[in-house]
Amino acid sequence: MDAASTAAAAAALATPAPAPAATVQVPRGQVDLIDFIDWTGVECLNQDSSHSIVNALKQSLRDDEGLYLASDSDEQLLIYIPFMQVVKLHSALFKGPEEEGPKTVKLFSNKEHMGFSNVNDYPPSDTLELSSNHLIDNKPLPLKYVKFQNVRSLTIFIEDNQSGSDVSKIHKIALYGTTVDTTNMKDLKKIEEH
């Protein structure tokens, strides 16, 4: 081994390994509800078309720091997430930049067809006041569990962001809870009387 090879090997050993990505502590007994989202019905009002909701919500995309959901004409976003079956929602995780990340997040259980004109007409099921630490901690925040027992859909209203700027950005939205065992009426067969 010559001196150049020895120096290169020593330099390789001295270079620190990249820090592992922060893993999320899923609350005990809960699962990531991503597999239960009805993707055909997911909507986001006021999203920048080049930075859409799938960037923050879909499994493979939401962990890529280069991808994010961004608002378009102002800082507000209204996100509608239907589920394929009834769920119990336990906690939610929002990850974003310290300045443009969401600050006031209002969650509505089973409220369909909401728009910016009527979002303040309904009391939220829960309101989260996120700090910049929440946005970088990668920890789910517990919700008012009793308000989210039979959730068919979730509407998330991002009211403002940390700095008050015109653009809100969200790197990741993750929802944790459990499914509710229900009977799918379509699976039942009609019993014919003889």
Q: Which two tokens stand for residue 147?
A: 């308000």
The pLDDT, as a whole number, for residue 26 is 73
Q: pTM value? A: 0.81
CATH at residue 77: 2.60.120.470
In-domain check, residue 98: yes
Beta strand 43-45 pairing with 77-95: antiparallel
The pLDDT, as a whole number, for residue 64 is 85
Compute CA distances 72 → 31, 115, 123, 165, 170, whole Å: 32, 15, 25, 12, 13
Q: Quote the domain boundaries for residue 43.
A: 31-179
The pLDDT, as a whole number, for residue 18 is 34
In-domain check, residue 67: yes
The residues of the chain scoring below 50 in pLDDT are 4-21
Place of tokens 């991503």: 34
Per-residue pLDDT reduced to its tens digit, 73-106: 999 999 999 999 999 999 999 999 999 999 999 9
137: CB partners within 8 A, 6+ apart: none
In-domain check, residue 6: no
